[in-house]
Amino acid sequence: MRVVSWNIHWGCGKDGRIRIHAMIDVLRRLNPDVICLQEVAANHPELEGSASANQFKQLAGAFGGYHAMEHAPSEIYQNNVPRLFGNLILSKYRISQVHRHVLPWPADPDAAGMPRGLLETVVEAPGGKLRLLTTHLEYYSPLQRMAQVNRIRELHAEASARALLFQPDPNLDAPFQLGFRPGSAILCGDFNFAPDAPDYAALLAPPEGSALALVDAWQVVHGDRARAPTTGLHGYPWPERPECYDYFFVTDDLAPRLTALDVLSETAASDHQPVVLDLT
């Protein structure tokens, strides 16, 4: 199973032009089973390069053999037309559930921030059913970002607890079947924190109750090897220096199945680099 996570910067390259097709080419070469994208836009002509097209539809159309799930926590209307900004999951595998979580957005006098979300799917993967989640946390407000990290931990603990209590029951009506989802999970995206940040430590703190522990896939695969940067390459003006903001975290029961975790540093299509996870 191969999963790719990529903040596509609404398709805008360092020359300020929208190049969604260049990103589609990169993703096709990687041939992933599941694609998790952040900063997907629709009807946002004010963004650099004029992201006026509906990129959710563009990307879903380009990968017609995949199931598409979108979550745009930023939804603004102008002349009754929605302007969307958020996350997209494309999966070759059957999807049995989708949950769209709005993450906390506490008022911060030092930074406005923007609405953030966590898109969760239950994937019928070859190695067994698992939850696959992607997110893009706040950058400008540490207060908001930590609140979002804490909420992700709460949602994971809730899912883990339900996984122990509920088993499929064909006698229940369909909406109640949503309770039957596994504790095993892959969490990926642009977390906007560095590996030495308190947010990183908070996310990976020992779980409470019955929740499965989350581990950093890079450390599982590479140990103490220096972490490859996922931003700050190819001459983009942000950030000031190469850094790692993009991660894969997995529940510890999946750690033995990890075979590779790589950052594709060659492409300059976005100000972030694609991160590729392989597991059996």
- Boundaries of every domain in the chain: 2-279
State pLDDT tens for residues 37-53: 999 999 999 999 999 99
Please report the pLDDT score of residue 113 as a whole number. Answer: 94
Q: Count other C-beta atoms under 10 Å from residue 259's C-beta.
A: 12
State pLDDT tens for residues 125-169: 999 999 999 999 999 999 999 999 999 999 999 999 989 888 778
Please report the pLDDT score of residue 171 as a whole number. Answer: 85
Identify residue 182 by its one-letter amino acid code: P
Tell me what the pLDDT averaged over the chain comes to.
95
Q: Is the distance from CB of 139 to CB of 189 less than 8 angstroms? A: no
CA–CA separation, 60 and 53 (whole Å): 13
Please report the pLDDT score of residue 48 as a whole number. Answer: 95
State pLDDT tens for residues 172-219: 888 887 778 899 999 999 999 999 999 999 999 999 888 999 999 999
Please report the pLDDT score of residue 63 as a whole number. Answer: 97
Please provide residue 14's backbone torsions phi and psi, each rounded to the nearest 5 degrees: -70, -15
State pLDDT tens for residues 80-127: 889 999 999 999 999 999 999 999 999 999 999 999 999 999 999 999
Among positive and negative, which fits the CA dihedral 183, 187, 191, 194? positive
Q: Is the distance from CB of 138 to CB of 113 less than 8 angstroms? A: yes
CA dihedral 146, 233, 273, 205 (to 10 degrees): -30
Q: Count other C-beta atoms under 10 Å from residue 221's C-beta.
A: 18
Q: Is 218 exposed, middle or buried (0-12, 13-18, 19+ CB in 10 A)?
A: buried
Helix, strand, coil proportions of the chain in percent (round to 5)? 25, 35, 40
Nearest alpha-carbon partner for 203 in 115, 263, 133, 106 = 133
**Predicted confidence (pLDDT) at residue 248 exceeds the cutoff of 80:** yes
Please report the pLDDT score of residue 180 as a whole number. Answer: 80
Please provide residue 249's backbone torsions phi and psi, each rounded to the nearest 5 degrees: -115, 140
Please report the pLDDT score of residue 175 as a whole number. Answer: 83
CATH code of 2-279, in short, is: 3.60.10.10
Encoded tokens for 54: 């509906």
More confident residue, 172 or 265: 265
Cα–chain center distance at 199: 16
